[in-house]
Amino acid sequence: MKKLFALLFSLLTTLFVLFSLVPEPVLGDGVAIKRDPYSDRWDYSNETNQQAFINYEHGLQKMIISVGLDAENSEGVVWLFPVPADPSKVVIDVVKSLPQLHGEEISKKAKSNLDGIRQSLLLTQIYTAVVVVPNMGRFIGVEGITGDVVVYEHIEKEGITSEIITTKTATGLYDYLKSKGLKIDSGSIPVLDQYIGREFSFVASWISSPRKTISISTEDIVDYFDYWHSYPEFRSLVDTLQQKYPDFRRAHIASDYLKSAKGEAVLQELVQAIKSNPALIAELQSASRLLGKEIILIDQRGIFVTFPTKDIYFPMLPTSVYGSKTIPVTIRVIGHVSPKVFQDIKSYTKTEYFIDSHANFGEDLKNFYSVQSKNVKYTKIDISAPSKFLTDDLWIRRHSPLKTYYSSFVAMHPGICTILLLILSSFITGILAGWTIFKELRKNIVKLGLIGLSNCLSLVGLIVVTHYHTPKGKRQFAFVALFSISFVIISLLIVQLVGFTL
């Protein structure tokens, strides 16, 4: 018994080591106000999307927020959003690019890994290979005072001017906006009054130098289709269109199909999807730089604000001024966190957890995130509620849901999971098959389990150990046959059970 245990322990240790050596598989959120060139009054600017990236460390929140604005009409737009901190503790900066976070949703990746684990377990029986193998800014100080408004910091960078302000009264805030060229009446934006008199600061920004816009042509998309085809967001879009248009899916050369009359509808839908999705635009910008081109479709620079806070914060209430209009909001938080989604937007909110193997943080984003960019965990929160339903700001808990720990382990460590499930399935099957065949060994369940563990060395290992450590005779053949069939069933059931819990 001791020799059997020692042998299996050494073999399993070797197996574990071998598996370990195998590579495992905006302005968000506030309000944008513009001057009306025809009436010399003000109106809410047309936002196409909101993007936010948050990194919370040691009580300090670093947040990049950005809105997609019509690039041709972005001049003269004042962005305003609240921050839950004293202005002396708030730091602002402007970034010319946004972080690129993609990766795989952890539950989907975990389930994908389980498919591979299932096949690996079945392969231990050798004969199953016939079926398995073919399917395998820095604080400056008070800059100036305008009425009741105190300007704590002023920065001009990348064509954007940004200021940290605080105000004692609502009148002071409206006077400040008027000083920026907006003819706005006091009380016109009552939602802002809720932040006055509380421990909130405001970050006000406006475009002082509009960015030159270069439109992308359909010819560009077709000519460089193969270069862009490998980017994840673009690949996902293409997959969706191929499902919708069977002829596109069957096309031998996609770029030739897009040039044809039959592909005209697909091409137009492709272009429209690209122009309305900042993630796609960022990917195409990245690809186009490699080709010596530059593509800028919307004015999507970002404001980088840093401030202390107990819980992660994202301003949503100011966006309610847009009424029934839906402005898609995407918030990406470094790490796996739990948003406190209030009732009004629950049915419009989707929270997913990702792991990005190759996150992209540019040179000007080192202050935002300077750790490793490999296997970056992040939470993606998508909100597509009508603006009038944004009746509160969004607060986010720093801890992860219990499920994410489990899913992350399966997603990131398929080799270890394979070994654990192989050991569990083999041990259980050894006990059940041995109990059925060898009555004289029923009192020694541990031995039956250890004999079952020899299956970790494939069916051949099981046959050898069975030959030396069980009563001789035809029952040995019956045991191996029953074990093999039972192992296939039990391992599939266990993997299926793990999959249900993801």
Read off the pLDDT of residues 106-154 as tens digits, 9 standing for 90 and up. 888 888 888 888 888 888 887 776 666 555 533 344 556 555 788 888 8
> Which pLDDT score is estimated for 60?
95
In the block, tokens 């197996």 appear at 15
Question: Is residue 175 a contact partner of residue 147, using CB atoms and an 8 Å limit?
Answer: yes
| pLDDT band at residue 71 under the 50/70/90 scheme | very low
> Which pLDDT score is estimated for 42?
45
What percent of the chain stands above pLDDT 70? Answer: 73
> In 10 A of CB 151, how many CB atoms?
17
In the structure encoding, which two tokens stand for residue 25, read together? Answer: 């598989």
Q: Mention every residue, 6+ apart, whose C-beta is less than 8 A from residue 30.
A: 65, 79, 80, 81, 82, 203, 315, 318, 319
Q: Mention every residue, 6+ apart, whose C-beta is less than 8 A from residue 147.
A: 171, 172, 175, 176
Highest mean pLDDT among 216-230, 236-250, 326-340, 356-370: 326-340
Average model confidence (pLDDT) for the chain? 78
Q: Give start and end residues of each alpha helix (H) in 124-212.
A: 129-132, 170-179
* Residues 31, 321: Cα–Cα separation, whole Å: 8
| pLDDT band at residue 431 under the 50/70/90 scheme | very high
Ranges assigned E (strand) in 311-419: 312-314, 329-334, 338-340, 349-356, 376-383, 394-397
**Tens-place pLDDT, residues 438-494:** 999 998 999 999 999 999 988 999 999 999 999 998 999 999 999 999 999 999 999
In the structure encoding, which two tokens stand for residue 491, read together? Answer: 């391992």
* Residues 462, 458: Cα–Cα separation, whole Å: 7
Question: Is residue 455 a contact partner of residue 487, using CB atoms and an 8 Å limit?
Answer: yes
Question: Is residue 92 a contact partner of residue 104, using CB atoms and an 8 Å limit?
Answer: no
> In 10 A of CB 139, how many CB atoms?
14
Output the pTM of the full model. Answer: 0.68
What percent of the chain stands above pLDDT 90? Answer: 28
> Which pLDDT score is estimated for 350?
92
Residue 96, judged by CB atoms within 10 A of its CB (0-12, 13-18, 19+), counts as middle
Pairing type for strands 329-334 and 47-57 reads parallel
Question: Is residue 234 a contact partner of residue 302, using CB atoms and an 8 Å limit?
Answer: no
Residue 470, judged by CB atoms within 10 A of its CB (0-12, 13-18, 19+), counts as buried
If you write DSSP's letter for every residue of 220-277 in order, what string do you get?
A: HHHHTHHHHTTSHHHHHHHHHHHHH-HHHHH-SSHHHHHHSSTTHHHHHHHHHHHHT-
Instruction: Determine the average pLDDT of the residues in 84-90.
Output: 92
Note the Cα 252 to chain centre separation in Å: 32
